[in-house]
Structure 1
């Protein structure tokens, strides 16, 4: 593991991660959201999420190709289990509904359209989901050190983890704070969808380090046999 954080809030965030981390039989990690305050401080978020989705829907309706690409993102996430449809559509709007919108990058060779979530959207209490989460430490490698590593060896490899931030799941008790609204047809009722996966770099860095340590220990044990 990395050295223990020296900042008190970073330590508290690390403790939440360590105490809630689980790994299923497929190797998939799940963690709690790192709440720094009582999530009941969140007010109603449904109205804002609905208003912003209807605005997005009008934008998608005016751009049929964008609509197809955005729908394809949702369908892919559903097929891969990153998100799931909530069946209790008549339940009261509790938890947190995350507004989302499309970002187009025509200069990108692969992902030209992305679904971007706005967890900084304020609820009726004036608090957003991001307001109540620990930011955690920045565990991403320093670019300067990465460049230095390229000078140490004659051959370098680069790779990309597909949909990296979606590979880590949020524990079920906190998925109610990862909901969003969507529908494939504007004549259909709005569907409530929950995100099973998370997207905070803090979670990605920690689980990656945890997995690296586990694999290193297995390699040492196998070598001793």
Structure 2
């Protein structure tokens, strides 16, 4: 789709937490579209990390990812095709309870600063005008004839927003801590059925690290 300067792109969504961790993690399922977007996203972010790390607050970071459950072989094959320095960890190196693990070079982001970069670039380089307002119905986002694209990023509000009302959407409660630990330079993720554990260094933050966080499904 081609867009003109008079066309509108609407993003319907919620805010991002100032203490949120932000990295590339290959946690998508085996859906072909999701895996394709994983590849595109990783390529874009690693390019930013190479070309504009100080402006974009994106940094290449060593990463270890662990799974307490089996991971489909087709997913692993696709991950190995594009992730830098991809290595399957031998079983004897895995912590107790972990069934599969890999290491690779990921990218970590300073979420608040990266959003500021995106905002300034869109505003100054492309002349994007930002308007913040509440909408009563998802179709309200299409009220202007100039609107060509709407991104639905409403998260848990999908359960209640008129026109969406996705009954399969549920809240998940967790805990995230922002600590200062400048010696921590490695990203670590552990995926379990009912919890996520992670350590994510935040670039350009004077050594801050995000620690998280258990996962309670249905508790919002």
Query: What TM-score does the superposition give when structure 1 sets the normalisation length?
Result: 0.21
Q: Which is richer in helix?
A: 1
**Structure 2 length-normalised TM:** 0.22
Structure having the larger proportion of residues in strand:
2
